[in-house]
Amino acid sequence: MARSNPERRAALLDAALEVLAEDGARGLTFRAVDQRAAVPAGTASNYFANRDALLAQCADRVYERLEPDADTLAQGLHGPRDAARVTALVHQVVDRVAAFPTGFLALLELRLAALRRPELRAVLTRRIGADLRLNTDYHRAAGLPGDATTVHLLILALNWLALERLALPDLFTPEQRTHLVDTLVTRLLAGENATANATTGSATTGNGGTAN
């Protein structure tokens, strides 16, 4: 029967994330987790039914640690509803990911492992999909410019920027990365506005033609 001490489980999952980040999915064993967590041999196996269960719960643990606290979330719902506000929030996300490189690398390893594990792929699809919906709903609730597609494009672009920052840290300077994020938001929102204006203009022209 699996143990249920929440603090010990969290510590074991944190150790598992470190193993994933440093040794990859192939190096993730109960023994490696026990050693990294500095607990007696056999502890991890008391908390997770098997290695697949450990892998699945690692994904949830990454997002638990990346999620901002309630105060930060509440503050994000207030303030200007403009492109500058979106840019500031995006930089906050980038900073949170940069402060937790182990989590990002572990999640990358989980994605690669999911190529060969359909059950893990289903878990990641559910968990990452939930994060996409959460970010989209939050964006709408805050009344910020941009639609769901804008949020998805931002997340996809930031994922690759984070990967380059970790894998090839000298590819871009910190100033270049900041400029890239600023430009990304500006161009995405400008493109959306142009599309919206074009659609509105076409609808207006079409209605006029019908009336004539």
E strand or H helix at 130: helix 118-141
CA distances from 24 to 18, 53, 65 (A): 9, 16, 20
| Average pLDDT, rounded, for the chain | 88
Radius of gyration of the chain (CA): 21
pLDDT tens, position by position, 7-59? 999 999 999 999 999 999 999 999 999 999 999 999 999 999 999 999 999 99
Q: Which residues contact 17 (CB under 8 A, 6 or more apart)?
A: 58, 61, 62, 102, 103, 106
- Provide φ and ψ at 115, rounded to 5°: -60, -30
SS3 content of the chain, % helix, strand, coil (to 5): 80, 0, 20
pLDDT, tens digit, for every residue of 143-152?
999 999 999 9
